């Protein structure tokens, strides 16, 4: 009878251990699922016709831009290094969008097709300098969809 009692205690202990491990795994799986940003996080908010950031000054290194588009249309995000003011970027011949081929702009990265009510991330390695973030869909830049980030 004593051996039967030990067997029951072992089964209960093993069951408790399994239940505890499953609870821990379930708790870990109940997070939002967002991966931790790599480097410095800069939240970017896009909507017609504004683009804002939570930070203007960031340290050099990895920077994660977390872009949230509240619409009412699809947007994009370009990150260019330049010595030009954000509101004075060179325009294409159509006069409606930035000339992304200008020698005064160095594209570091970007995201296309950021749909309304979505959040996407872009992680870049940035060296010290002046960067302009902008949406270059027709008329969006001219409408005010730009911001700066200064990397120190």
- Tell me which of 6-15, 83-92, 127-136 is least confident: 6-15
Q: SS3 for 33?
A: coil
Kindly state the average pLDDT of the residues 18-29: 43
Kindly state the average pLDDT of the residues 92-100: 95
pTM above 0.85, yes or no: no
Please state, in angstroms and rounded to a whole number, the distance separating the CA atoms of residues 63 and 60. 8
Q: List % helix, strand, coil for the chain (3-state, nearest 5).
A: 20, 40, 40
Structure confidence by residue, pLDDT tens digits, 107-134:
999 999 999 999 999 999 999 999 999 9
Residues whose CB is less than 8 angstroms from the CB of residue 135 and which lie 6 or more positions away in sequence, other chains included: 46, 51, 75, 76, 77, 78, 141, 145, 146
């Amino acid at each position: 009878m004593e051996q039967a009692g030990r067997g029951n205690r072992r089964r209960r202990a093993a069951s408790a251990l399994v239940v505890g491990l499953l609870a821990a795994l379930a708790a870990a799986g109940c997070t939002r699922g967002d991966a931790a940003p790599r480097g410095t996080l800069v939240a970017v908010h896009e909507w017609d016709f504004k683009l804002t950031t939570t930070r203007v000054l960031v340290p050099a290194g990895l920077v994660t831009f977390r872009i949230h588009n509240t619409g009412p249309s699809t947007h994009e995000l370009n990150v260019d290094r330049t010595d030009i003011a954000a509101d004075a970027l060179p325009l294409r011949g159509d006069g409606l969008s930035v000339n992304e081929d200008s020698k005064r702009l160095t594209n570091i990265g970007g995201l296309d097709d950021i749909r309304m009510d979505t959040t996407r991330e872009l992680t870049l390695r940035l060296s010290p300098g002046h960067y302009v973030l902008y949406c270059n869909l027709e008329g969006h830049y001219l409408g005010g969809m730009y911001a700066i980030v200064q990397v120190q």
